[in-house]
């Protein structure tokens, strides 16, 4: 008898068409080819900085929701790492990309950034740990997938800053986190009622849609129309 796919694998399979569109998005393709316009990458970095601030709050709530102390400690460690190391790295990376510190700090969130981070905050503030994982995995696991696919192609290191981005999300540390988060969802799912999968699927799919919209926002350099 064939073994049933894990919950995360089923969520990935259900979102396969959308994930393929993300991988084929011109912004993502431009990262891999090195042809992405510098101003678009700068726009992305500024919005991603704001995203990371809200992501830290989600990690804090994930630690609070965890019943297992080891899981709580892992999320607390990720929060500390993100706040004290990753945010500083992001500032330095932005500076190398031509974004002055005062410009980065004065960035106004674009509509897609507001919508995506509000979705994540709602999932973290009202849901359990499985809901939080379903919400963050399209980003947490998806970035590793995207960067790994780009790194497998010829010429991925043509542009030094884009290559640095790809290396960051294909590092052993980042891969370990992405796999751990997916495995954690599968472990938690074993004890969940059967009816919960549909609700988690909706959260996961919405985050996947926002992932696409985030890339689209950066590509279009989306601003508020009014």
Which position among 56, 105, 139, 173 bears the catalytic label? 139
Q: What pLDDT is recorded for position 2?
A: 54
Q: What pLDDT is recorded for position 190?
A: 86
Q: What pLDDT is recorded for position 192?
A: 85
* Domains in the chain, CATH or no CATH each: 7-219 (1.20.910.10)
Whether 139 is catalytic is yes
Q: Which residues of the chain have pLDDT under 70?
A: 1-3
Q: What pLDDT is recorded for position 195?
A: 82
Q: What pLDDT is recorded for position 1?
A: 47
- The 10s digit of each residue's pLDDT in 100-134 is 999 999 999 999 999 999 999 999 999 999 999 99
pTM: 0.95
Which position among 105, 125, 211, 223 bears the catalytic label? 211
HEC profile for the chain?
CCCCCCHHHHHHHHCHHHHHHHHCCHHHHHHHHCCCCHHHHHHHHHHHHHHHHHHHHHHHHHHHHCCCHHHHHHHHHHHHHHHHHHHHHHHHHHHHCCCCHHHHHCCCCCHHHHHHHHHHHHHHHHCCHHHHHHHHHHHHHHHHHHHHHHHCCCCCCCCHHHHHHHHHHCCHHHHHHHHHHHHHHHHHHCCCCCCHHHHHHHHHHHHHHHHHHHHHHHHHCCCCCC
Q: What pLDDT is recorded for position 4?
A: 74
């Amino acid at each position: 008898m064939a073994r049933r796919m894990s919950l995360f694998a089923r969520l990935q399979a259900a979102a396969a068409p959308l994930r393929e569109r993300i991988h084929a998005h011109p912004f993502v393709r431009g990262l891999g080819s090195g042809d992405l316009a510098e101003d678009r990458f700068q726009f992305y970095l500024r919005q991603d900085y704001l995203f990371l601030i809200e992501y830290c709050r989600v990690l804090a709530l994930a630690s609070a929701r965890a019943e297992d102390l080891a899981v709580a400690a892992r999320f607390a460690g990720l929060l500390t790492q993100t706040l004290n190391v990753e945010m500083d790295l992001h500032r330095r990376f932005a500076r190398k990309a031509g974004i002055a510190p005062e410009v980065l700090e004065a960035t106004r969130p674009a509509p897609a950034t507001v919508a995506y981070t509000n979705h994540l905050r709602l999932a973290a503030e009202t849901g359990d740990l499985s809901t939080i994982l379903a919400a963050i995995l399209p980003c947490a696991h998806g970035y590793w997938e995207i960067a790994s696919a780009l790194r497998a192609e010829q010429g991925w290191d043509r542009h030094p800053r884009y290559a640095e981005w790809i290396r960051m999300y294909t590092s052993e540390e980042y891969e370990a986190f992405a796999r751990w988060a997916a495995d954690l969802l599968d472990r938690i799912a074993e004890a969940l009622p059967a009816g919960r999968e549909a609700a988690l699927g909706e959260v996961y799919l919405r985050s996947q849609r926002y992932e696409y919209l985030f890339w689209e926002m950066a590509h279009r350099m989306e601003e508020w129309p009014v």
